Amino acid sequence: MDYTYDILKKKTNAKLYKICVSFGHSRCKSFRKKRLIDIILKHQEESKRKKEVEEDEVEESNNEQEEVEQEDVEQEEVAQEDDEQEDDEQEEVEQEDDEQEEVEQEEVEQEDDEQEEVEQEEVEQEEVEQEDVEQDIKQKPKKKQRKHNKNLGKVQTKDHEDLYNYIEHELGITHKKCSMGASKKGNKFKIVHEGDRKCPIREFRLNEIFKNENNEIICKKNIPLQGACRKCDDLWRQARIDACAAKNNGTRKEIYENYKRDYGKITKECSSCKEEIECTNFSISRNMECGLHNTCRDCSKKYTISVGNRCAIYMPDGHYVMIKEKNGTHDDHIFPLAYGGSDEKINHQEINSKANLSKSSTIPFESLDEINPKMISKRFRYILYDAIDQNLTILEFKSRMATAIRADIEERFNMMDDELLKLYKKYIKKINRKKKVPRLVKKFREYCTKILGLK
């Protein structure tokens, strides 16, 4: 019992200990003691086996942990190798970029040096050419600039019939021979009149005959007609334009230098202000013989024609060309052409360009009594008079004018081309405007079809 007690006390748990104590107190026999010892030994074996299993599991877990740690270490080593490889590659790329930049910098510096050399050569060449130009101007015979009389550009369309009638009835001239190609020498463009040279006088342009301010006919020649008929003269003019364009096909600088060489001076007389001005103050005109416009830039800015193609669309009365007094201004029609306004002087004003663009086609009056009837084309004035009698508002009057304008345009659109040509020919003669009739018809047709959608 003492042995059993000692074993139980040292090697068993508390539960088994209590069982054995109960056996001891009951004074069990020897076989019971043996049975108790077998139970204890069996329990010890199970505990040992369980402990071994636990130790195996712990060892296996430790081995797995070691393998995982080993894999992590290997992965870190691989990642570190990759990083080192990327760093090496990056260093190589940066090294190549640095070398490329150095090469490009050297190329840029070389190009700059070459450009400086080229520019220096150009400067030296320009100096030499300028010296040559000045030398040529001194030595070369001067070419005379064409003189422009005061009637240059003056439109006499409205007086043509009276002037031709004067030639027929007062001077007794009804026909004239065309002189184009008649001389043995010929002309430089080799243009020859085709057919009978004797043509009616209306096939020739007028020359040195006009009406003065008092409406008196002034004739300065026995035969106040040009030598060539209109057809031959047009051919000759076009040939001259083509020749001038071929001659003046260089740069602006070359055209100015050619003018200096040909005319032996650096100035040109403006046909408007009659002053000798430096040739660079004239715009380039390649179709002109000298390659420059007749009017200087300052004078060109003063003259304005604000109607343009609208004369074909709205056919306004009058033909006034304003000479502007300030820069940055527009020639504005007070009563807009789109609502029947005229092109007479009374309907023009010089206003700021921004104000004109913002004004657009607005009728700038608060009441109908403020509108001067002469600001409106004659064929539409009855609408104004009726609106005043009926005490209409500006908006109602504007609506009536728009309706009348639309009806007028549609009526012309429905005309045949022959009828429209006759109408425009009569119109430009009435207002004394120099326009090509076929072009007016073309622009009018385009406006009606593309903008108004008429068919």
Q: What is the pLDDT of residues 199-246, one digit of tens each?
A: 999 889 888 888 887 888 888 888 899 888 988 888 888 888 888 888
Q: What whole-number distance in Å separates Cα of residue 277 and Cα of residue 177? A: 41
pLDDT score at 19: 52
Take residue 440 and report the two structure tokens written for it. 């007016």
- From the number of C-beta atoms within 10 Å of its C-beta (0-12, 13-18, 19+), residue 312 rates as buried
pLDDT at 298 over 70: yes
Task: Check pLDDT > 50 for residue 114.
Answer: yes
Q: How far apart are CA 226 and CA 451, in angstroms?
A: 42
> Hey, what are 200's tokens?
């009616």
Task: Give how far Cα 187 sits from Cα of 200, 205, 238, 240, 419, Å.
Answer: 23, 19, 14, 11, 39
pLDDT at 293 over 80: yes
- CB-CB contact of 256 with 265 (8 Å): no
In 220-273, beta strands by DSSP E: 225-229, 267-269
Rounded to an integer, what distance in angstroms lies between the CA atom of residue 133 and that of residue 125? 12
Give the chain's radius of gyration (CA, Å).
Answer: 54
Q: HSE (CB half, 13 Å, CA atoms) of 416?
A: 2
Q: What is the pLDDT of residue 316?
A: 92
CA distance linking residue 318 with residue 60, whole number of Å? 114
Domain spans of the chain, in order of start: 1-54, 159-245, 248-304, 310-451
Give the whole-number percent of the chain exceeding pLDDT 70: 81
- pLDDT tens-digit readout, 325-371: 777 788 888 999 889 999 898 998 888 877 777 777 788 888 899 99
What kind of fold does domain 248-304 have according to CATH? Wheat Germ Agglutinin (Isolectin 2); domain 1 (3.30.60)
pLDDT tens for 4-40 read 445 544 444 444 445 555 544 444 445 556 666 777 7
Which residue blocks in 140-158 are alpha helix, DSSP H?
Answer: none
- Across the chain, mean pLDDT equals 79
- Distance, in Å, from the CA atom of 7 to the CA atom of 396, rounded to the nearest integer, reads 129
> Within its chain, how far is the Cα of 350 from the centroid?
27
CA–CA gap between residue 355 and residue 168 (Å, rounded): 52
Phi, psi of 215 (to 5 degrees): 65, 25
Residue appearing with tokens 């304008």: 405
**Measured in Å, how far apart are the chain's first and last C-alpha atoms?**
135
Question: pTM of the predicted model, to two decimals?
Answer: 0.48
Q: How confident is the model at residue 422 (pLDDT cuts 50, 70, 90)?
A: very high
pLDDT at 380 over 90: yes
Mean pLDDT of all residues in 56-69: 78
User: pLDDT band at 130, cuts 50/70/90?
Assistant: low
Q: What is the mean pLDDT of residues 157-186?
A: 82
Between CA 233 and CA 180 the distance in angstroms is 8
Q: In which band, very low, low, confident or very high, does the pLDDT at 2 lie, cut at 50, 70 and 90?
A: very low
- Per the DSSP assignment, residues forming a β-bridge with 292 are 284
Burial class (CB in 10 A: 0-12, 13-18, 19+), 102: exposed
Residue of 269, 327, 265 lying closest to 298 (CA atoms): 327
pLDDT at 389 over 60: yes
Pairing verdict, β 217-219 and 276-278:
unpaired
Q: Which pLDDT belongs to residue 25?
A: 43
Q: What's the whole-number mean pLDDT along residues 103-125?
A: 72
Note the pLDDT of residue 341.
92
The alpha carbon torsion through 245, 294, 327, 321 (nearest 10 deg) reads -100
Q: Is the pLDDT of residue 74 over 70?
A: yes
Picking from 268, 243, 283, the residue whose alpha carbon sits closest to that of residue 147 is 268
